[in-house]
Amino acid sequence: METNIALGMSLIIMGGIFSGTFAIPFKPNKKWAWENNWLLWSIMALVIMPWLVSLLTVPNLISIYQQQPETVLLVLIFGIIWGIGAILWGLGMDYLGIALSVPIMSGLNNSVGTLMPIIIRNPDELLQPEGIRIIIGVVVLLLGIVVCSVAGSMKAKALSLQTENNDRKKSRFMVGLFICLLAGIIGPMINFGFVYGQPLQQKAIEYGSSLTFSSNAIWSIVLTGGFAANLIYCIYLMRKNKTAANYRKGNSMYWILALLAGVLWYFSIMFYGMGGSNLGKSGASIGWATMQSVAIVAANIAGILSGEWKGASVKHFSIMFSGMAVLIVGIIIIAH
């Protein structure tokens, strides 16, 4: 397959921007609980958009799936596992707070999602100049993530753990640590679905899809798997918290904004797939690291513009911008 590095990196950077900012439309929906927004997000991001785009851009989509049942099942399983990881991500932040959980989960997410595709494809590549460069880039990215997280923790007033007794602190920390480790390992499963879904992508190209749009044949399956896990969890929360009635609150703009967040997030994963397809054999590694890092930078910028950093000191901003600079260096190293 022919590749276009400049186009690939441009698309992945766009994907990272969407990934870091997709949740902004949730902010005005103050009368809804998290699960109210997330359910509509899941329907739009994980079902409607991927299937609509796939049907529009991949000829004979259903026929492709019928010819590759084993691949479809494997990609679907990766999607279900990733959906569980997305839930664990939120729980990890609840248990340990942003300061402790983000470095653990983002670090594992980025490193596992970047290095594992190479290890699966050909581990000997890690000993080659390109593999060594990617390893160095991953280390730099992890450093940038830690610095950004330190800035966030310094800005925060206090973690909820500080108000609990010592025994409860220890127990909660151990549970939270386990959840964070599991979330960080499971999170990249969506990238594994992209890697193992290559037969679907190749078949899409054979049926006339362009290289750029061929990855859409993968996303409609892997994201459907993710939807199943998120649907079950949202329903569970609504029953537990009795928040289903919240849909009667607010107005039509609440629905529009929640669905818009789903569209924006889907664009992030669609652009990642389009970009990764144009980067050749290392697309799943280089592309994943780049998108995740750009997302962190975009999220920080969005947070500043939306007032989340209001009242922060110059020191906090200096540390945060230093972390963002390190992330950019890591992106340059990996993408060079």
pLDDT value of position 3: 60
Q: What single string gives the DSSP state of each residue in 89-109?
A: HHHHHHHHHHHHHHHHHHHHH
* More confident position, 47 or 288: 47
Residue 16 has pLDDT above 50, yes or no: yes
Q: What's the confidence (pLDDT) of residue 159? A: 40
Q: Find, among 250, 237, 196, the residue nearest to 72 by Cα.
A: 196
Confidence of residue 57 (pLDDT cuts 50, 70, 90): very high
Report the alpha-carbon distance of residue 250 to residue 32 in Å, rounded: 8
Q: How far apart are CA 12 and CA 20, in angstroms?
A: 12
pLDDT at 165: 54
Q: pLDDT by residue (tens digit) across 62-115?
A: 999 999 999 999 999 999 999 998 888 767 766 765 445 555 676 667 677 777
DSSP state of 158: -
Identity of the amino acid at 182 = L
Report the alpha-carbon distance of residue 94 to residue 189 in Å, rounded. Answer: 22
pLDDT single digits (tens) 211-238: 889 999 999 999 999 999 999 999 999 9
User: Vertex 273, ends 115 and 46: CA angle to 5°?
Assistant: 105
Question: Token digits for 247?
Answer: 């849909």
pLDDT by residue (tens digit) across 260-287? 999 999 999 899 888 887 887 666 667 8
Would you list the DSSP string of 8-76? HHHHHHHHHHHHHHTTGGGTT-TTS-HHHHHHHHHHIIIIIHHHHHHHHHSTTHHHHHHH-HHHHHHHH
Give the tens place of pLDDT for each residue, 314-329.
887 788 788 878 877 8
Instruction: Give the pLDDT confidence of 158-206 residue by residue, as tens digits.
Output: 344 444 455 555 567 678 778 877 888 888 888 889 889 999 999 999 9
pTM of the model: 0.78
What secondary structure does DSSP assign to 265-290, as a single string? HHHHHHHHHHHHHTTGGGHHHHHHHH
Sign of CA dihedral 176, 177, 178, 184: positive
Given this model, what pLDDT does residue 166 score? 56
- Kindly report the average pLDDT of the chain as a whole number: 82
| pLDDT value, residue 133 | 82
Q: Where do the domains of the chain lie? A: 5-335
Q: What is the largest CA-CA distance in the chain?
A: 63
| Other residues' Cβ atoms within 10 Å of the Cβ of residue 179 | 23
Is 205 exposed, middle or buried (CB count within 10 Å of its CB: 0-12, 13-18, 19+)?
middle
**If pLDDT is split at 50, 70 and 90, which confidence band does 55 have?**
very high
Per-residue pLDDT at 247 exceeds 70 = yes
Residue 335: pLDDT band with limits 50, 70, 90:
low
CA distance 262 to 254: 13
- C-alpha dist (Å) from residue 94 to 46, 177, 304: 24, 11, 22
More reliable by pLDDT, 64 or 124: 64
Cβ 289 vs Cβ 139: under 8 Å: no
The pLDDT assigned to 169 comes to 55
